[in-house]
Amino acid sequence: MSEQEQINEVLATDYQAGFVTDIESDTFPPGLSEETVRKISRMKDEPEFLLEWRLKAYHHWLTLETPEWAHVNYPEIDYQAISYYSAPKKKTDGPKSLDEVDPELLRTYEKLGVPLDERARLAGVAVDAVFDSVSVANTFQDKLAEDGIIFMPFSKAVHAHPELIKKYLGSVVSYKDNFYAALNSALFSDGSFVYIPKGTRCPMELSTYFRINAANTGQFERTLIIADDDAYVSYLEGCTAPMRDENQLHAAVVELVAHDRAEIKYSTVQNWYPGDENGVGGIFNFVTKRAACRGVSSKVSWTQVETGSAITWKYPSIILQGDNSTGEFYSVAVTNNMQQADTGTKMIHLGKNTSSTIISKGIAAGRSQNSYRGLVRVGPNAENARNYTECDSLLMGDQCGAHTFPYIEVKNPTAQIEHEASTSKISEDQLFYCKQRGLDADDAVSMIVNGFCKEVMRQLPMEFAVEAQNLLSLSLEGSVG
Amino acid sequence: MKMLEIKNLHASVGDKEILRGINLTINAGEVHAIMGPNGAGKSTLSNVLAGRDGYTITQGEVLYKGENLLELAAEERAQRGVFLAFQYPVEIPGVSNIYLLKAALNAVRKYQGLDELDAIDFLSLVRSKLDLVKMDEQFLHRGVNEGFSGGEKKRNEILQMALLEPSLAILDETDSGLDIDALKTVSEGVNGLRSADRSIVMITHYQRLLDYIEPDFVHVLSDGKIVKTGDKELAKELEKTGYSWVQQGQAE
């Protein structure tokens, strides 16, 4: 067997989260109209201001065209063929205590390695579990509330804290921002809401685990995190979906707001079903994530490990408004088989002495296409802005592609911008070297890839770093993990 | 004990035959030097013995400790104690040297049915080997061969050999690209690893390495065959006269 064949064999792997939970759901029939928007709002008994906002978003969306600038190819999405709401049947409204959660759902999360039992392994982590369109469980809410921290499903926060929602919703990502953000604004069904009060350091990791289960549905979640002055929070999201032959749409919006001296660390481990080796099925992941460093000396850091999805279109960005604010983007994007990823970031420097760091690691295997797209913009008032960008691509085999699209716009002469890029291959020399030292091909590939991503992986919270490493190995290998 | 028996070995790359009937027996504890001009097949021989892909064995056999070596995968050979010190050790960015060393040692130990060494035991073991090649502990925490000088790369190979304690070590042009001080250090390292149950094959273009690591036998490889075998005096003769007389001798 040649080493190319061995690479191929190592790459042929099963998606571990591809099972379907057999559970009764209330699902909207496919179709999108103003009535769909009203119906979602009605289901959630939303206040008038939110319905109005949704409708504005919907009517704006109707005027928009699908963006086509990304380096991805996929068949046109029929928005009338999608169901926009699906929720497991339940007897009462709102998230329940764990005792009342359907055991089938608990088993689902258990199987995914996200035990919802508060006494379980991830005891230092509070979890919001979003299943299709709704939050089904939310742990440690009460304990966090003792510190004044709000961590709850979005749909519940709308009722409990309407003033905060009104103030912050759409303040970072306007419903007019782009095609998918407008769609999400009209149709979002749930997500997580986090508020960390002034001077509070959130004592545990917060996390939301997104699961798409129902067929032919789209998931449109919305996450809003606010860190008030001098607050700190570390938040992690994870995502999986069953294996299906149809493509499914996931269009999320995440907004982060950091006030004076606040810090938000947001980590993503994205493992949506990527489709099979021939590109059949998989999630279309069109996500708008943006943070506003509004306060002085505030800091936001995005870390993402993207291994799933048939199409990834995602640019977690940071607006550095406050003077001395800091933005960081650390990304590992793995594409295999027929996957396509177009991902990167935007760092918008507006305040003085703002600095940003971008470290992007793209790994392309199979026949996949992996693109980094990043914008660094320095506004006219952003004295002494600094940016350092490094994007590295690793190619496995000779049928995949890695692309880099950096954009730099500088309107202030005091700016210092550095950009480094490299493209390399896992060479047969490297593989043979490792094998000659006794490692099998699986272990060798895993070691080489993890070495390549090390700078990014070490940004992840401890609790997840090992899981993310295993996931990385699993996406690329057959037997490791 | 016979460590390695190569019998009438023929190997090709594509349809080009490179090894054309090699016969060589190496006993435990012996050091053999294989010399020869460029293109003689020296690197092909070391790659074929280590199990690199891309070569077709068309005839012959190779026994390692009596076992058919050629049907084992590269990693299986390594686990059984066949070690190749590379002419051009590759860089593996981001993977620390110590991580690779530990993974390699544990792969060998696993084959031997031994438990993996824990971090503390491993570190004390590897520290004990550093002196042999005069390497600083910092090397352990740098990326594998990342930004290493030529001399550092070669010393790193010998460090790996010291740690893995192979039965058969093949040193492929270990002297190439070394200045005289580095050559001394590397040679002392190798000499320190000579033992009655370990065989060493040195592949080299130049005689100077043999001043530092004295071989028991010297073979001249030319055009895919061993055309002459002698002791270290043969190497000195070659140094004086070049390889052309061997090749001529072969033509006659």
Q: How far is CA A260 from CA A131, A193, A227, B138, in A?
A: 34, 20, 9, 41
Mutate to test the interface with A, among B82, B86, B100 (most CBs of A within 10 A): B100
Lowest mean pLDDT among A72-81, A209-218, A375-384, A423-432: A209-218
Q: What is the CATH number of the domain that holds B210?
A: 3.40.50.300
Residue B130: its H or E element: helix B119-130
Inspect the interface and report whether the beta carbons of B103 and A439 lie closer than 8 Å: yes
Q: Which is more confident, A141 or A313?
A: A313
Distance from the Cα of B239 to chain A's closest Cα (Å) equals 32
Q: Is the pLDDT of residue A117 over 70?
A: no
Residue A458: the pLDDT is: 83
Q: How confident is the model at residue A481 (pLDDT cuts 50, 70, 90)?
A: very low
Q: How confident is the model at residue A98 (pLDDT cuts 50, 70, 90)?
A: low
Of B54, B100, B111, which is closest to A437 when you measure between CB atoms? Answer: B100
Q: Identify the CA nearest to B183 among candidates B209, B215, B202, B156.
A: B209
Residue B139: the pLDDT is: 87
Quote ipTM for the complex: 0.94
Mutate to test the interface with A, among B92, B112, B114 (most CBs of A within 10 A): B92
- Count of structural domains, chain A: 1
Q: A453 in contact with B at a CB cutoff of 8 Å?
A: yes
Q: How confident is the model at residue B127 (pLDDT cuts 50, 70, 90)?
A: very high
pLDDT tens digits, B213-250:
999 999 999 999 999 999 888 888 887 887 776 665 55
pLDDT tens digits, B85-102:
999 999 998 899 999 999
Burial class (CB in 10 A: 0-12, 13-18, 19+), A112: middle
Inspect the interface and report whether the beta carbons of B164 and A437 lie closer than 8 Å: yes
Q: Is the pLDDT of residue B26 over 50?
A: yes
Of B74, B103, B111, which is closest to A447 when you measure between CB atoms? Answer: B103
Average pLDDT over residues A322-342: 93
pLDDT, averaged across chain A: 85
* Cβ pairs A/B, distance under 8 A: 82
Inspect the interface and report whether the beta carbons of B107 and A438 lie closer than 8 Å: yes
Instruction: Give whichever of A91-105, A273-287, A292-306, B124-138 has the largest mean pLDDT.
Output: A292-306
Give the residue from chain B lying closest to A456, CA to CA.
Answer: B94
Residue B33: the pLDDT is: 95
Average pLDDT over residues A28-49: 90
Of B77, B90, B99, which is closest to A433 when you measure between CB atoms? Answer: B90
Mutate to test the interface with B, among A332, A426, A437 (most CBs of B within 10 A): A437
Q: Is the pLDDT of residue A215 over 90?
A: no
Give the residue from chain B lying closest to A2, CA to CA.
Answer: B53
Mutate to test the interface with B, among A6, A431, A432 (most CBs of B within 10 A): A432
Q: Is the pLDDT of residue A464 over 80?
A: no
Q: Which residue range forms the structural domain that includes residue B8?
A: 2-251
Q: Is the pLDDT of residue A120 over 90?
A: no
Give the residue from chain B lying closest to A435, CA to CA.
Answer: B75
Domain assignment present for residue A212? The answer is: yes
Q: Is the pLDDT of residue B34 over 90?
A: yes
Residue A462: the pLDDT is: 74
Lowest mean pLDDT among A465-469, B6-10, B66-70: A465-469
Q: A443 in contact with B at a CB cutoff of 8 Å?
A: yes
* Contact list, A436 vs chain B (CB under 8 Å): 50-52, 74-75, 77-78, 83-84, 86
Mind spelling out the 3-state secondary structure of chain A? CCHHHHHHHHHCCCCCCCCCCCCCEEECCCCCCHHHHHHHHHHCCCCHHHHHHHHHHHHHHHCCCCCCCCCCCCCCCCCCCCECCEEECCCCCCCCCHHHCCHHHHHHHHHCCCCCCCCCCCCCEEEEEEECCEEEEECCHHHHHCCCCEEEEHHHHHHHCHHHHHHHCCCCCCCCCCHHHHHHHHHCCECEEEEECCCCECCCEEEEEEECCCCCECECEEEEEEECCCCEEEEEEEEECCCCCCEEEECCEEEEEECCCCEEEEEEEECCCCCCCCCCCEEEEEEEEEEEECCCCCEEEEEEEECCCCEEEECCEEEECCCCCEEEEEEEEEECCCCEEEEEEEEEECCCCCEEEEEEEEEECCCCEEEEEEEEEECCCCCCCEEEEEEEEEECCCCCEEEEEEEEEECCCCCEEEEEEEEEECCHHHHHHHHHCCCCHHHHHHHHHHHHCHHHHCCCCHHHHHHHHHHHHHHHCCCCC
Q: Which is more confident, A132 or A219?
A: A219
Lowest mean pLDDT among A236-250, A302-316, A369-383, A435-449: A236-250
Q: B147 in contact with A at a CB cutoff of 8 Å?
A: no
Average pLDDT over residues A149-164: 92
Q: Which is more confident, A10 or A419?
A: A419
* Contact list, B148 vs chain A (CB under 8 Å): none
Q: Which residue range forms the structural domain that includes residue A397?
A: 17-427
Residue B74: the pLDDT is: 95
Domain assignment present for residue A478? The answer is: no
In degrees and rounded to multiples of 5, residue A446 shows phi and psi of -60, -45
Q: Which residues pair with B126 in a beta bridge?
A: none
Residue B7: its H or E element: strand B2-13
* Contact list, B78 vs chain A (CB under 8 Å): 435-438
Q: B95 in contact with A at a CB cutoff of 8 Å?
A: yes
Q: B94 in contact with A at a CB cutoff of 8 Å?
A: yes
Q: A97 in contact with B at a CB cutoff of 8 Å?
A: no
Of A427, A439, A443, which is closest to B90 when you measure between CB atoms? Answer: A427
Q: Is the pLDDT of residue A7 over 70?
A: no
Inspect the interface and report whether the beta carbons of A435 and B79 lie closer than 8 Å: no
Residue A2: the pLDDT is: 57
Q: Which is more confident, A38 or A108?
A: A38
Residue B232: the pLDDT is: 85
Residue A11: the pLDDT is: 53
Q: How confident is the model at residue A463 (pLDDT cuts 50, 70, 90)?
A: low
Q: A3 in contact with B at a CB cutoff of 8 Å?
A: yes
Q: Is the pLDDT of residue B252 over 50?
A: no
Q: B103 in contact with A at a CB cutoff of 8 Å?
A: yes
Domain assignment present for residue A454? The answer is: no
Domain assignment present for residue A433? The answer is: no
Q: How confident is the model at residue A8 (pLDDT cuts 50, 70, 90)?
A: low
Q: Global pTM?
A: 0.81
* Contact list, A435 vs chain B (CB under 8 Å): 51, 73-75, 78
Residue A115: the pLDDT is: 64
Q: Is the pLDDT of residue A472 over 80?
A: no
Mutate to test the interface with B, among A435, A440, A469 (most CBs of B within 10 A): A435
Average pLDDT over residues A391-395: 91
Residue A90: the pLDDT is: 64
- Count of structural domains, chain B: 1
Average pLDDT over residues A448-476: 78
Residue A82: the pLDDT is: 86
Residue A227: the pLDDT is: 97
Q: B43 in contact with A at a CB cutoff of 8 Å?
A: no
Domain assignment present for residue A184? The answer is: yes
Average pLDDT over residues A267-280: 83
